[in-house]
Amino acid sequence: MSSEILINVTFDEVRVGLLENGQLVEFYVERKKDTSLVGNIYKGKVVKVLPGMQSAFVDIGLEKAAFLYVADIKADIESYAPFLEEEEETEEIQIQIKKGRQDVPIEDLIQEGQEIIVQVAKDPIGSKGARVTSYVTIPGRYLVLMPGLDHVGISRRITGEDERQRLKDIVDEIRPKGYGLIIRTASEGEDTEELRGDLEFLRFIWENIQEKKDRVSAPTLLYSDLDLVFRSVRDLMSQDVERMIIDSKVEYERIKDFVNTYFEKLTDRIELYDGPEPLFDAFGVELDIARALGRKVWLKSGGYIVIDQTEAMTVIDVNTGKFVGKENLEDTILKTNLEAVKEIAYQIRLRNLGGIIIIDFIDMEETGNREKLFNAFRDALKRDKAKNTIYNISELGLIQMTRKRVRESLGRTLCNTCPYCEGKGFVLSPRTICFEIFRKIEKMTITQGARVLITAHPYVAELLSDEESYAVEEIEKTRGIEVIIKEDAQLHQENYTISVLR
């Protein structure tokens, strides 16, 4: 499958798109004021230990204290999964996970006021601070260095047994004592000198971190991961990426210098874009981004999916829509579900949806069709690098899955919560507000002959003066008061005031 990487650079924003067969499948954005913290290493101070939650808060110099869970202190082997790029770790890793998950209370591991070296595993998301781990990983292009861990792992995207063994033999030869290594997918086909050079660079970084931590006090940033442009070279330039196209002369020269220094084999794949129209427009990427922000996504058959993201989970619903099929109902439903599978897998990856994801497929009666649907969905997610776990389809036609969340989803990165509905997705109707006003007046103590001023949004005021005027007149008659209605376009539709005029 041919792939391309597009990098669009403006004054204070960098956008990176990974295209597979001309379609945007991964999108990253980094702004100077919102740079990702994932991968940064800090010398922090434990400010609070919570035995009841088996966790602690660590001051690393950010606005909000970072969250450190007990498993992240003992053996956070699972955090290496993105580099293994598969659903399950090796047997050796599984053994180390079990060893690291013994029932040791967090208060026996760390104390308040203690200084500790931690690495950001997840960016702050919503109201939550960053999540950190005390097990450090430093990724290079070919290897991931794991100081203090005696283990060698290999990406399962490298499938050839001979190649896997060759790479393991090389790493066993060059690996220094006291360091663990993971062999990344980009290592496939590389020789000993390439891997050794990558390892030496990673050890140099770690030694600098060690030297700095001994002469600074917490909280302090010890190491900042590469910016998005360089991370794209390091992490996205796999063997099937034919070229990386960038539209900034300055960044192009910077990448060329970086590649010539560390990854000379990639030099010929870096291109400067100088076309007449913007880079993302020329490749149709802007349309893909806009589509990825919509709640409803139409399928070619006429069916559609609806994606709703909440604080705790994402729910995806599949509907036949305009698709009526040509044969029986079961066949129509199966075709819609199978078409939706590809689109859902694509949208999950593009939107970077994480946490719990529940997909409500259209219910099918035949067991064979359910199995076909589940297998198709599992296959569709194979190219997704994020660690995920998929559970069998339920009797209600639901597929439940979890997907590792490291950074905010695309929607929450590019969009703010609606200031009008405050994220609810709906507001009370004008008629509902009218009846709320009536009930509130009924509760008020108002002397007969008083004048009551209702100030409301124009939609509400119009309804009070027109369709609901009979109710207003009834209130005036029974309470012996005069009601004056005033509209204020500056008011939220749900807001209003009721004032008794003197």
Residue 78 has pLDDT above 60, yes or no: no
Q: Rounded CA gap, 1 and 471, in Å?
A: 67
Give the architecture-level CATH label for domain 3-33+229-285.
2-Layer Sandwich (3.30)
Using the predicted structure, report yes or no on whether residue 100 has a pLDDT greater than 50: no
- Number of continuous H segments (helices) and E segments (strands) in the chain: 15, 24
Q: What's the pLDDT score for residue 11?
A: 82
Flag whether the pTM goes above 0.85: no
Amino acid 326: pLDDT: 62
What 3-state DSSP class applies to 152?
Answer: strand
pLDDT in the model for residue 91: 36
pLDDT number for residue 291: 87
Average pLDDT for 445-461 = 94
**145 vs 86: which has the higher pLDDT:** 145
Select the more confidently predicted residue: 291 or 323: 291
- pLDDT at 364 exceeding the cut of 90: no
Give the full edge-to-edge strand order of the sheet including 152-154.
Answer: 138-139, 143-147, 179-183, 152-154
Q: How confident is the model over 343-361, as pLDDT tens digits?
A: 999 999 999 998 999 999 9
Instruction: Name the band, by pLDDT with cuts 50, 70 and 90, for residue 475.
Output: very high
pLDDT for 254 equals 92
Tens-digit pLDDT profile for residues 236-274: 888 788 999 999 999 999 999 988 888 888 889 999 999
Residue whose C-alpha is closest to residue 120's, from 37, 182, 236, 206: 37
The confidence score (pLDDT) of residue 403 equals: 92
d(CA 100, CA 105): 12
pLDDT value, residue 1: 66
pLDDT tens, position by position, 283-307: 999 999 988 888 899 988 888 999 9
For residue 327, name the pLDDT band (cuts at 50, 70, 90): low
State the chain's mean pLDDT as an integer: 87
**Segments in 6-100 forming alpha helices (H):** 70-74, 81-84, 91-100
**Domain residue ranges in the chain:** 3-33+229-285, 37-224, 295-414, 430-501
Report which residue type is found at 137.
T
Would you place residue 496 in the very low, low, confident or very high pLDDT band (cuts 50, 70, 90)?
very high
CATH number of 37-224: 2.40.50.140
Q: What is the three-class DSSP state of 257?
A: helix
CB 303, CB 323: distance < 8 Å = yes
Mean pLDDT confidence for 314-336? 81
Q: How far apart are CA 230 and CA 236, in angstroms?
A: 10
pLDDT band at 79 (very low <50, low <70, confident <90, very high): very low
Per-residue pLDDT at 139: 92
Least confidently predicted of 106-115, 322-331, 337-346: 322-331
CATH superfamily of 430-501: Ribonuclease E, catalytic domain (3.40.1260.20)
Higher pLDDT, 329 or 41: 41
How many C-beta neighbours within 10 Å does residue 206 have?
16
d(CA 199, CA 193): 10
Residue 86 has pLDDT above 90, yes or no: no
pLDDT tens figures, 191-244: 898 899 889 989 999 999 999 988 899 999 999 988 899 999 988 888 788 999
**Would you list the DSSP string of 102-149?**
S---GGGT--TT-EEEEEEEE---TT---EEESS--EE-SSEEEEET-
Looking at residue 80, what is its pLDDT?
47
Residue 84 confidence class, pLDDT cut points 50, 70, 90: very low
For 387-442, write each residue's pLDDT tens digit.
889 999 887 789 999 998 777 888 888 888 888 887 778 899 999 999 999 999 99
The winner for highest mean pLDDT among 26-35, 92-101, 457-466 is 457-466
- For the cut 50, the answer to whether the pLDDT of residue 101 exceeds it is no
Give the whole-number percent of the chain exceeding pLDDT 70: 93
Average pLDDT over residues 162-182: 91
Give pLDDT, residue 90: 38
